[in-house]
Chains A and B, each alone.
Chain A
Amino acid sequence: MAKKARLIDATKCMGCKGCQVACKQWNQLPAVQTEFVGSYENPADMDPNTWGRVKFNEYENGDSINWYMNYFSCMHCTDAGCLNICPVDAIVRMENGAVRIDQETCIACGACRGACPFEIPRISDAAYKCTFCADRQAQNMAPACASACPTGAITFGDRDDMLAAAEARVSALQDRGKTNAQVYGKDELDGLMVIYVLADSPDKYGLPVDPQVSFSAYLWKLAMRPVRTVATVGLAVGALSSWFTLRKAEVEKEKEEAKL
Chain B
Amino acid sequence: MKVSRRNFLWLSGAVVAGSLAAKLGCAPEEPVVEPDPDEPTPEPSIEDDFRLEFASTVSNVCSFCGVGCGVLCYVEDGKIVSVEGDPDHPVSEGALCSKGAAMFQKYYEYDEKGNAIVSPQRVTEVLYRAPGASDWEVKDWDWAIQEIARRIKDTRDADFKETNDAGQTVNRCESLAWIGSAKCNNEENYLYRKFVAAMGIVNNDHCARL
A residues contacting B by CB (< 8 A) are 1, 16-18, 20-22, 24-26, 28-31, 78, 92-95, 100, 102, 104-105, 131, 134-136, 138-139, 144, 147-151, 225-230, 232-233, 236-237, 248, 252, 255-256, 258-259
Contacts and interface: CB of A to CB of B under 8 A. Distances in A.
23 contacts: A1-B40, A16-B97, A17-B98, A21-B101, A24-B102, A25-B84, A25-B101, A28-B51, A30-B110, A92-B44, A94-B41, A100-B46, A102-B46, A104-B5, A105-B9, A135-B51, A147-B87, A225-B34, A227-B32, A233-B20, A248-B10, A255-B4, A258-B113
B106 to A, nearest CB: 12
Contact of B83 (A25, A104, A149, A227): A25
Contacts of B114: 28-30
B95 A148 contact: yes
Given A134-B48, A236-B17, A252-B6, 12 more contacts: A1-B40, A16-B97, A24-B102, A25-B82, A92-B46, A100-B46, A104-B6, A147-B84, A147-B87, A229-B24, A248-B10, A252-B4
Question: Considering the complex of A and B, which 8 residue pairs feature the smallest CB-CB distances, nearest first?
Answer: A17-B98, A135-B48, A92-B44, A150-B95, A21-B101, A22-B101, A233-B21, A16-B97
A148 B101 contact: yes
A102 B44 contact: yes
A230 B24 contact: yes
B14 interface: yes
B104 A25 contact: yes
B94 interface: yes
Nearest to B4: A255
B65 to A, nearest CB: 11
Contacts of A248: 10
Given A21-B101, A21-B102, A100-B46, A26 B110 contact: no
Given A22-B96, A28-B116, A93 B101 contact: no
Interface of B: 2, 4-7, 9-10, 13-14, 17, 20-21, 24, 28, 32, 34, 37, 40-44, 46, 48-51, 82-85, 87, 92, 94-98, 100-102, 104, 109-114, 116
A183 B3 CA distance: 50
B43 A94 contact: yes
B98 A20 contact: yes
Contacts of A134: 46, 48
Contacts of B49: 135
A93 B43 CA distance: 8
Nearest to A20: B98
A138 B82 CA distance: 18
A96 B108 CA distance: 33
Given A25-B82, A104-B6, A226-B32, A135 B50 contact: yes
A189 B59 CA distance: 43
B44 A26 contact: no
Contact of B85 (A93, A147, A256): A147
Nearest to A131: B48
A135 B48 CA distance: 5
A95 B42 CA distance: 7
